[in-house]
């Protein structure tokens, strides 16, 4: 089912205006050993720096929603994480619970084994059900491909399934497999989905230079646990005005 990617799309350089960078970042903490104090710090940093969202494990969604009350940052959580091999009913229950708890963004791991087995309809239909549930609550759905485990043609099929299922983003990685985002994967994903949906680069994006590479490749959202360090790096390069008590 491999299709020929469309010609490379122009990069929106306005995304790389330094003052716009926080709105690209999902400030992420998915370590299994993260304690409440760690999540509290994550949320405070999101308030201080204006990140688009915090991305936390499902058990911390209610806490994060409360911590970010009246702030601009959204709460994102994961579904079927990190393997994607749950039964569809379990993913659906996870999604519903997360939305009930106040999550505004869901990052689901697709069924990688089903995709590699050629069960295209099963993969597409699972995404479609979660997209419908998310959209019904005013939330968005991102589909994690785990690109390091997929061949080029499989990545294209996964992107096609996400588009047909009306997901909002495709995302490179969980950050818990053999590798994270690469420029080549992001370029392929952007060419595959066109302008119809977002592309999130996640896994190993730890510096200002790496973030710029991913955006220029086609990403319009970045998942990283290094957002604060990236913004401080930008500040040290005198590209962004300082915020007192923050930078």
d(CA 243, CA 85): 43
Residue spans of alpha helices (H) in the chain: 36-49, 61-67, 88-101, 112-116, 120-136, 152-164, 183-193, 208-217, 227-236
Element (H, E) at 200: strand 198-202
Catalytic (active site) residue 107 = yes
DSSP code string of 96-150:
HHHHHHT-SEEEEEP-HHHHHTT-HHHHHHHHHHHHHHHHHTT-EEEEE--GGGS
Instruction: Report the candidate in 59, 63, 30 with the shortest Cα–Cα distance to residue 44.
Output: 63
d(CA 119, CA 225): 33
Q: Which of 26, 91, 185, 200 is catalytic?
A: 200
Catalytic (active site) residue 200 = yes
Question: Tokens 């360090």 appear where?
Answer: 229
Q: Which of 26, 142, 171, 185 is catalytic?
A: 171
Q: Which of 26, 91, 107, 185 is catalytic?
A: 107
CB neighbour class for 188 (10 Å; exposed up to 12, middle 13-18, buried from 19): buried
Could you tell me which residues come within 8 angstroms of residue 52 by beta carbon, excluding any fewer than 6 positions away?
22, 23, 24, 25, 26, 73, 74, 221
Catalytic (active site) residue 48 = no
Q: What are the residue numbers of the active site?
A: 107, 171, 200
């Amino acid at each position: 089912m491999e299709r020929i990617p469309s010609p490379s799309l122009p990069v929106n350089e306005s995304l790389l205006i330094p003052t716009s960078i926080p709105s690209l970042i999902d400030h992420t903490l998915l370590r299994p050993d993260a304690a409440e104090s760690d999540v509290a710090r994550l949320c405070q940093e999101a308030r201080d720096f204006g990140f688009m969202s915090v991305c936390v494990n499902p058990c911390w969604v209610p806490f994060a929603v409360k911590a970010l009350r009246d702030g601009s940052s959204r709460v994102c959580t994961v579904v079927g994480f990190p393997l994607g091999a749950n039964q569809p009913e379990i993913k659906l229950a996870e999604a519903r619970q997360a939305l009930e708890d106040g999550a505004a963004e869901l990052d689901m791991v697709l069924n990688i084994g089903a995709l590699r087995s050629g069960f295209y309809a099963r993969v597409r239909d699972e995404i479609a059900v979660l997209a419908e549930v998310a959209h019904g609550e005013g939330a968005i759905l991102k589909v994690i491909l785990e690109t390091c485990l997929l061949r080029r043609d499989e990545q294209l099929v996964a992107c096609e399934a996400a588009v047909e299922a009306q997901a909002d983003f495709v995302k490179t990685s969980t950050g818990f497999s053999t590798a994270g985002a690469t420029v080549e994967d992001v370029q392929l994903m952007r060419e595959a989905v066109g302008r119809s949906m977002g592309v999130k680069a996640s896994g190993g994006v730890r510096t200002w230079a790496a973030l710029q590479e991913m955006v220029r490749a086609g990403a319009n959202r970045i998942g990283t646990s290094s957002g604060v360090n990236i913004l401080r790096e930008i500040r040290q390069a005198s590209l962004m005005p300082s915020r007192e008590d923050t930078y």
